[in-house]
């Protein structure tokens, strides 16, 4: 479904009871909202949550910035020189999209969860629109502090190199190769399932141009280190020891910056959401949301709904 928010057309989906606790999911760099595994979304809905997800600008079925191609080298030079680069939009604009989406849907506030770049955006929602964030869930993301370890060369190449052509089979093969570079080591790489998912997303919307602008927005974003220290809300930070794209030191740093943040480091988890990891993630996220929600004034009705859903699921 499409809705107009923050002056643009945003594609979104909502699932779960209308009276359920709202949870906004923000996907990462170049990824469509359909990249959230169905099993993960279903688990959240079965727990009684009202799950909202959407395509970030320039990806999927949300509005595009056709033809405005930033020069990544010039963006890097400007950032290094302390200048604001000339790019179509910034991560702060993407956070404004998320906050405006909640407004457009009539949702006063929600628990805000984001993965990778989505975690950066989620942090900015909590910082720039504190009234919209009941809690923050940062999933294999970072503060963007320049002191943190960099991606491995293989993981960096996986997200910055193009396939040999835009043909469906080449895109799938290239993406699978890249995903192996930052995949979990604890669980077997599910090539068949991932190839099917990549193909479905290709058919839904293949738009590599948008990733250039999103990459520029990531590069142009100032570190959030000091700002995160001012947050006053429940925060959950999840990261894996096998993440070679955003090493787990970034997760530790994120949690250390946010006062009172809860941090969980999962052994062998990479920069992905394999199916066997989903029960672990649900067992961390759902109780966290319930606890954060229980501390909010007037949250009784929503909490009863979640409690009933969890009882039924058991």
Give 149-207 pLDDT, tens digit per residue: 999 999 999 999 999 999 999 999 999 999 999 999 999 999 999 999 999 999 999 99
CATH number at residue 122: 3.40.50.1820
pLDDT at 198: 98
pLDDT at 308: 53
Asked if the model's pLDDT at residue 83 lies above 70, the reply is: yes
Asked if the model's pLDDT at residue 223 lies above 70, the reply is: yes
Q: Tell me the per-residue pLDDT of 245-276, one tens digit each, with 9 for 90 and over.
A: 999 999 999 999 999 999 999 999 999 999 99
Task: Decide if 253 is inside a domain.
Answer: yes
Task: Decide if 198 is inside a domain.
Answer: yes
Task: Decide if 313 is inside a domain.
Answer: no
Range of the domain at 287: 2-306
Q: Tell me the per-residue pLDDT of 231-252, one tens digit each, with 9 for 90 and over.
A: 999 999 999 999 999 999 999 9
How far is residue 237's CA from residue 251's CA, in Å, rounded to a whole number?
Answer: 7
Asked if the model's pLDDT at residue 113 lies above 50, the reply is: yes
How far is residue 115's CA from residue 239's CA, in Å, rounded to a whole number?
Answer: 10
82: tokens are: 């302390």
pLDDT at 301: 52
The 10 Å Cβ neighbour count of residue 240 is 26
Q: Tell me the per-residue pLDDT of 48-80, one tens digit each, with 9 for 90 and over.
A: 999 999 999 999 999 999 999 999 999 999 999
Task: Decide if 312 is inside a domain.
Answer: no
Q: Tell me the per-residue pLDDT of 279-307, one tens digit each, with 9 for 90 and over.
A: 999 999 999 999 999 998 776 555 555 44
Give which of 153, 148, 307, 156 is closest to 239, Cα–Cα: 148
pLDDT at 297: 79
Asked if the model's pLDDT at residue 229 lies above 60, the reply is: yes
How far is residue 29's CA from residue 162's CA, in Å, rounded to a whole number?
Answer: 14
The 10 Å Cβ neighbour count of residue 172 is 19
Task: Decide if 311 is inside a domain.
Answer: no
How far is residue 6's CA from residue 21's CA, in Å, rounded to a whole number?
Answer: 23
Number of domains, the chain? 1
Burial class of residue 12, CB neighbours in 10 A (0-12, 13-18, 19+): buried
Mean pLDDT of 221-226: 97
Look up tokens 């080449």; give the residue. Answer: 170
Q: CB under 8 Å to 249, separation ≥6 — which residues? A: 148, 149
Task: Decide if 314 is inside a domain.
Answer: no
pLDDT at 314: 35
Helix (H, G, I), strand (E, B) or coil at 288: helix
Under DSSP, the state recorded for 75 is: H
Task: Decide if 132 is inside a domain.
Answer: yes
Asked if the model's pLDDT at residue 218 lies above 90, the reply is: yes
Q: Dihedral (C-alpha) 125, 80, 150, 30: value to the nearest 10 degrees?
A: 50
Task: Decide if 202 is inside a domain.
Answer: yes
How far is residue 215's CA from residue 86's CA, in Å, rounded to a whole number?
Answer: 13
Asked if the model's pLDDT at residue 311 lies above 90, the reply is: no
- Detail the DSSP E strand segments found in the chain: 2-5, 8-15, 21-26, 49-54, 110-115, 133-139, 235-240, 262-266
pTM of the complete model: 0.94
């Amino acid at each position: 479904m499409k809705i107009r928010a923050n002056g643009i057309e945003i594609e979104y989906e909502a699932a779960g009871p209308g009276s359920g606790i709202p949870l906004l999911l923000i996907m990462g760099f170049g990824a469509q909202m359909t990249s959230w595994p169905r099993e993960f979304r279903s688990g959240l809905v079965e727990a009684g949550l009202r799950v909202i997800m959407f395509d970030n600008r320039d990806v999927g079925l949300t509005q595009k910035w056709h033809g405005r191609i930033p020069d990544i080298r010039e963006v890097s030079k400007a950032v290094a020189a302390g200048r604001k680069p000339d790019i179509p939009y910034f991560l702060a604009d993407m956070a404004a999209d998320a906050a405006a989406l909640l407004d457009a849907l009539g949702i006063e506030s929600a628990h805000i969860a984001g993965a990778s770049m989505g975690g950066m955006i989620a942090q900015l929602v909590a910082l720039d629109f504190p009234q919209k964030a009941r809690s923050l869930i940062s999933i294999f993301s970072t503060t963007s502090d320049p002191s943190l370890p960099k991606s491995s060369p293989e993981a960096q190449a996986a997200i910055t190199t193009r396939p040999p052509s835009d043909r469906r089979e080449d895109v799938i093969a290239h993406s699978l190769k890249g995903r192996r570079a930052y995949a979990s080591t604890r669980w077997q790489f599910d090539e068949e399932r991932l190839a099917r998912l990549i193909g479905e997303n290709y058919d839904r919307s293949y738009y590599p141009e948008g990733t250039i602008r999103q990459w520029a927005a990531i590069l142009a974003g100032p570190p959030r280190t000091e700002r995160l220290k001012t947050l006053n809300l429940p925060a959950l930070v999840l990261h894996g020891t096998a993440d070679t794209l955003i090493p787990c030191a970034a997760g530790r740093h994120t949690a250390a910056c946010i006062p009172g943040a809860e941090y969980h480091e999962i052994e062998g988890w990479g920069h992905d959401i394999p199916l066997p990891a989903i029960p672990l993630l649900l067992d961390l996220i759902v109780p966290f949301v319930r606890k954060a929600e229980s501390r909010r004034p007037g949250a009784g009705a929503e909490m009863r709904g979640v409690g009933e859903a969890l009882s039924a699921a058991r």
